[in-house]
């Protein structure tokens, strides 16, 4: 079946946008299936840097249709800003033409942001994601399909505003929502986006039956999954392969392949246990932060950095069943004397090879490392030149032995082949395995 899923294999921020941008060249559809504008995908094309939060990264191919799927929670005001930014670059208005919003997706209202900003424990982005998913689970949330009916129901508007205000008071937020506020907000959303709201699950199913290629785009990462991640320091949605189909409105059998994106090291934003964490003030952790430009695309917060955690990556593979791995930001590790990688943990003096479920135990885990020799750094231009040469048949074999040994170690430990290696932020700075899914000449962007 012609649906392919691209997932974060770590704690998010792995470089999914670049991989999606590359594969979107050959895709008819690109679908975001979960999350909201707590996500951030960065695409670098020459001198142009795109920072996307809601729009699928496949937008760079102007022949690719775009879907904000039913598993998402969507802030219409953020979407409007993002579309205006896209228009300023391209003069394109994709709404209702090639951009469609699932009528089953949930709407993030100002109330959800107000409530989320009161969080002092988890370290959320404050974008209203969790409160919107909570409303969905409690069956009081508002979907895009519900807007036109709610607009003409004064009683329901009043009841909704009253419920929102009661919840805000429980977290000491002094702002209030009125039924007039809701009426005005809903009126604007319908005026702005009614031509884009569709039954997108049905559209995608028909597209698959017609033989279209569909790219399913995940946000965040496997270790932030609400069920399988490092709970409670996780996101509010299911980030894994199981939700790639469900959050898009198609069935699991329609996904033919799934690629996990992992950095050559590990990062994490926000609070929660991080066994291989390093100092941002000195040494390799500082280098990863500085050279990797490790700041959140959405929040700008510094990302915590650490050596590659193969225990977590293997857990990610167990959950998602990757067809292949894309290892990004290998270039960031250049000129280090040695590269460490975690193969197991020590928990209270006992060696274990899995992530404990309880945060209290995972926070006590100490990494057990192995090491490999480092490799020489290159300039961005040199990496791109090497990547261009690799596309003449050599592929990953063009890389120095030290890098290939590191990649082979990852493959052997996780049990999944490395199909592409990122050696810089530019879309051209990738080196693929020969005859693999990323082994193609990367065309110029069409925007």
Residues 211 and 186 reside in one and the same domain? no
Residues 70 and 27 reside in one and the same domain? yes
DSSP structure class, residue 248: T
How crowded is residue 234: how many other Cβ atoms within 10 Å of its Cβ? 22
Residues 273 and 362 reside in one and the same domain? yes
pLDDT of residue 419: 97
pLDDT of residue 50: 77
Q: pLDDT 10s per residue in the chain (447 long)?
A: 589 999 999 999 999 988 988 998 889 999 999 999 987 777 777 677 778 899 998 898 899 999 999 999 999 999 999 999 999 989 999 999 999 999 999 999 999 999 988 876 766 778 999 999 999 999 999 999 999 999 999 999 999 999 999 999 999 998 999 999 999 999 999 999 999 999 999 999 999 999 999 999 999 999 999 999 999 999 999 999 999 999 999 999 999 999 999 999 999 988 999 999 999 999 999 999 999 999 876 667 789 999 999 999 999 999 999 999 999 999 999 999 999 999 999 999 999 999 999 999 999 999 999 999 999 999 999 999 999 999 988 999 999 999 999 999 999 999 999 999 999 998 899 999 999 999 988 877 666
Residues 180 and 243 reside in one and the same domain? no
pLDDT tens readout for residues 157-187: 999 999 999 999 999 998 999 999 999 999 9
- Tell me if 138 is assigned to some domain: yes
- Tell me if 36 is assigned to some domain: yes
Neighbouring residues of 63: CB distance < 8 A, sequence distance ≥ 6? 28, 446
Residues 343 and 369 reside in one and the same domain? yes
- Tell me if 420 is assigned to some domain: yes
- Start-end of H helices in 24-146: 76-90, 110-116, 129-137
- Looking up residue 407, the CATH number of its domain turns out to be 3.90.170.10
Residues 22 and 58 reside in one and the same domain? yes
Report whether 433 contacts 417 (CB < 8 A).
Answer: yes
Report whether 135 contacts 175 (CB < 8 A).
Answer: no
Domain final residue, candidates 193, 219, 240:
193
- Tell me if 236 is assigned to some domain: yes
Give the number of C-alpha atoms closer than 13 A to the C-alpha of residue 201, restricted to the C-beta side: 16
- Cα(383)–Cα(434) distance, rounded to whole angstroms? 18
Question: What are the φ and ψ backbone dihedral angles of 171, each rounded to 5 degrees?
Answer: -115, 20
| SS3 assignment, position 68 | strand
Residues 185 and 230 reside in one and the same domain? no
- Cα(227)–Cα(224) distance, rounded to whole angstroms? 9
- Cα(96)–Cα(99) distance, rounded to whole angstroms? 6
Sole residue written with tokens 């791995």? 325
- Tell me if 405 is assigned to some domain: yes
Domain limits for position 349: 3-74+200-432
Residues noted as catalytic: 13, 41
Q: Which of 289, 287, 283, 263 is nearest to 410 (CA)?
A: 263
Domain final residue, candidates 151, 177, 193:
193
- Tell me if 328 is assigned to some domain: yes
- Cα(347)–Cα(421) distance, rounded to whole angstroms? 33
- Tell me if 87 is assigned to some domain: no
- Tell me if 230 is assigned to some domain: yes
Domain final residue, candidates 175, 193, 211:
193
Report whether 9 contacts 410 (CB < 8 A).
Answer: no
- Cα(189)–Cα(185) distance, rounded to whole angstroms? 6
Which regions of 36-98 does DSSP assign to beta strands (E)? 41-45, 48-52, 65-68, 73-74
- Cα(335)–Cα(389) distance, rounded to whole angstroms? 22
| SS3 assignment, position 337 | coil
pLDDT of residue 53: 92
Q: Which of 116, 76, 88, 35 is nearest to 297 (CA)?
A: 35
Distance from the Cα of residue 191 to its chain's centroid = 29
- What's the structural domain count of the chain? 2
Residues 223 and 350 reside in one and the same domain? yes
Sole residue written with tokens 């009841």? 159
Residues 312 and 296 reside in one and the same domain? yes
The token pair at 9 is: 């294999």
Residues 222 and 343 reside in one and the same domain? yes
pTM: 0.93
| SS3 assignment, position 342 | strand
Contacts 24+ apart (CB under 8 A), 380-389: 380/424, 380/426, 380/429, 383/331, 383/423, 383/424, 383/429, 384/423, 384/424, 384/426, 384/428, 384/429, 386/423, 386/431, 387/423, 387/424, 387/428, 387/429, 387/430, 387/431, 388/428
Give first-to-last CA distance, the chain, whole Å: 28
Residues 162 and 240 reside in one and the same domain? no
Beta strand 304-306 with 266-268: parallel, antiparallel or unpaired? antiparallel
Residues 325 and 355 reside in one and the same domain? yes
Q: What is the DSSP string of 133-193?
A: HHHHHTT---BGGGHHHHHT-HHHHHHHHHHHHHHHHHTT------HHHHHHHHHHHHHHH
pLDDT of residue 297: 65
- Cα(354)–Cα(60) distance, rounded to whole angstroms? 39
């Amino acid at each position: 079946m012609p649906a392919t899923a691209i997932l974060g294999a770590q704690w998010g921020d792995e470089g999914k946008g670049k991989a999606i941008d590359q594969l979107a060249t050959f895709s008819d559809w690109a679908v975001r299936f979960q999350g909201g504008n707590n996500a951030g995908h960065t695409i670098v094309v020459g001198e142009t840097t795109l920072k996307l939060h809601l729009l699928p990264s496949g937008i760079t191919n102007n022949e690719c249709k775009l879907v904000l799927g039913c598993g998402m929670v969507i802030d219409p005001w953020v979407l409007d800003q993002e579309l205006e930014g896209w228009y300023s670059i391209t003069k394109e208005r994709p709404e209702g033409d090639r951009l469609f919003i699932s009528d089953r997706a949930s709407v993030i209202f100002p109330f959800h942001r107000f409530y989320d900003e009161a969080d002092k424990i988890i370290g959320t982005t404050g974008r209203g994601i969790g409160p919107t998913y909570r409303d969905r689970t409690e069956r009081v949330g508002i979907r895009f399909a519900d807007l036109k009916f709610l607009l003409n129901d004064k009683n329901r508007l009043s009841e909704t505003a009253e419920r929102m205000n009661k919840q805000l008071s429980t977290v000491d937020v002094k702002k209030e929502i009125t039924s007039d506020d809701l009426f005005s907000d809903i009126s604007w959303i319908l005026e702005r986006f009614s031509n884009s709201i569709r039954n997108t699950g049905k559209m995608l199913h028909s597209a698959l039956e017609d033989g279209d290629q569909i790219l399913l785009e995940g946000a965040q990462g496997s270790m932030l999954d609400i069920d399988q991640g490092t709970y409670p320091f996780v996101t509010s949605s299911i980030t894994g392969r199981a939700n790639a189909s469900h959050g898009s409105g198609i069935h699991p059998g329609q996904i033919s392949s799934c690629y996990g994106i992992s950095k050559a090291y590990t990062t994490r934003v926000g609070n929660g246990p991080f066994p291989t964490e390093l100092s941002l003030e000195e040494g390799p952790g500082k280098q990863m932060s500085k050279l990797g430009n490790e700041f959140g695309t959405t929040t700008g917060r510094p990302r915590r950095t650490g050596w590659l955690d193969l225990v977590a990556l293997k857990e990610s593979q167990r959950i998602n069943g990757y067809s292949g791995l894309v290892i990004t930001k290998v270039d960031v590790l250049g000129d280090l004397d040695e590269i460490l990688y975690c193969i197991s943990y020590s928990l209270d003096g006992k060696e274990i090879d899995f992530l404990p479920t309880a945060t209290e135990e995972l926070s006590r885990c100490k990494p057990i490392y192995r090491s490999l020799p480092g490799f020489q750094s290159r300039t961005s231009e040199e990496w791109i030149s090497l990547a261009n040469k690799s596309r003449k048949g050599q592929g990953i074999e063009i890389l120095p032995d030290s890098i290939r040994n590191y990649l082979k170690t990852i493959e052997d430990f996780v049990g999944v082949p490395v199909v592409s290696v990122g050696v810089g932020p530019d879309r051209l700075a990738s080196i693929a395995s020969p005859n693999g899914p990323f082994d193609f000449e990367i065309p110029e962007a069409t925007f």
